[in-house]
Amino acid sequence: MRPWTNPVFREAVAVYWVDGQAYVTYLFYLLILGALQLLALVLPSGEARFWIGPAFLFKFSTVASLLLIVYLTLRFAGLEFLAWRFSPLRHWLEEERLSITAVAGGLLSILLVHSLILLLLAAPLLAWSGAIARAPLADMASTLPMLFLYAVGYGIWGLVGLAFWERKADTRRVFIRWIFVCFFLISGAFGAWAQTLNPVAFLLYHLGTLEIAAAPVRWGVLWTPSLIHWGFQGVVFAVALALLAWGLRRVQKGYN
């Protein structure tokens, strides 16, 4: 089923973008990101370093964008905004007789569009910070797809929370916040291996701020930080996708 013919996706289009219900969140997102960049420039500790240093402002802006984009995609996917405007999952699976694949495809399409919109909104601010901080063009170009992959790879956990705790909003909110805290904040504090897996630490490594030692050769493979990191991200996404299918199957059987 194509995304634009998927009723789950079309409902989200009507609520979020036709009725304009998501625009306020997008506006606050831009204001917060812009305010963080402004503070980075005007605070006394950032005067010369952010203007003439090795792309410090761009790196700061990129990390801020990463945290904001992933946090908002998690919340959008978990229907923390305007949950009452959406039909329950059971409606699509039982009354509309949609398959689990169709419902999951519609939910993933919503996640992809939100991730892309948030990335496009952040792109001008990132380009501005990169220009005045003299960031290498290669770093600026490679950062955007990385942010998109993180948004989708972790935003899907918001869908997992929705599938398992659609009727328990408080539990779903706690789950979404713990996913964010564990993967993005806590995981980088446990040595080099943890930093290799942590998105914030790896992004700083990619931009040349943080050093991560390469792992030795095992089983004939050189386990570079990039290979370890993106392999782990693939596992995280695959596990979330399997849990999403399992959660929707539970809803279909009436366990949610």
Beta-sheet strands, E only, within 81-182: none
Q: What per-residue confidence (pLDDT) applies to 72?
A: 94
Q: Pull the structure tokens for residue 55.
A: 């792309």
CA distances from 116 to 1, 52, 104 (A): 21, 31, 18
| pLDDT tops 90 at residue 246 | yes
C-alpha closest to that of 131 among 68, 61, 63:
61
Outline where DSSP puts E strands in 50-197: none
Which has more confidence, 234 or 167? 234
Residue 110 burial (C-beta neighbours within 10 Å; 0-12, 13-18, 19+): buried
**pLDDT for res 239:** 95
Amino acid at 67: L
What percent of the chain clears pLDDT 70, i.e. is strictly above it? Answer: 86
Domain membership of residue 195 as a residue range: 3-252
Length of the chain: 256
Each residue's pLDDT tens digit, 180-224:
888 887 766 665 667 788 899 889 888 877 777 666 666 666 778
pLDDT digits (tens, 9 = 90+) for 64-123: 999 999 999 999 988 888 778 888 888 888 888 888 999 999 999 999 999 999 999 999
Three-state SS for 79?
coil
Where does the pLDDT of residue 160 fall: very low under 50, low under 70, confident under 90, or very high at 90 and above? very high
Q: Which of 115, 96, 98 is nearest to 155 (CA)?
A: 115
Give how many domains the chain has, as a whole number.
1
CA distance 190 to 188: 6
Confidence at residue 62, expressed as pLDDT on a 0 to 100 scale: 92
**pLDDT computed for residue 134 by the predictor:** 81
Q: For residue 6, what pLDDT is reported? A: 85
| 202 exposure class (CB count in 10 Å sphere: 0-12, 13-18, 19+) | buried
Amino acid, res. 93 = L
Instruction: Give the percent of the chain with pLDDT over 90.
Output: 39
Convert the pLDDT of each residue in 137-152 to its tens digit.
888 889 999 999 999 9
Whether 44 and 146 have beta carbons less than 8 Å apart is answered as no
Whole-structure pTM value: 0.89
For residue 247, is pLDDT > 50? yes
Q: Which residue, chain included where needed, has tokens 């992933």? A: 70
Tokens of 128: 């501005």
> Rounded distance, CA 49 to CA 57, Å?
8
Closest CA to 53 of 134, 166, 174, 128: 134
Q: Which two tokens stand for residue 60?
A: 């700061």
Instruction: Kindly report, residue by residue over 22-79, the tens digit of the pLDDT.
Output: 888 899 999 999 898 888 777 655 444 444 455 688 888 899 999 999 999 999 988 8
Exposed/middle/buried for 90, CB within 10 Å: 0-12, 13-18, 19+?
A: middle
Q: Give 37-44 contacts, CB < 8 A, sequence gap 24+.
A: 37/61, 37/64, 37/125, 37/128, 37/129
CA-CA distance, 122 to 172, in Å (whole number)? 27
Q: What is the mean pLDDT of residues 6-17?
A: 88
Pull the structure tokens for residue 234. Answer: 């693939």
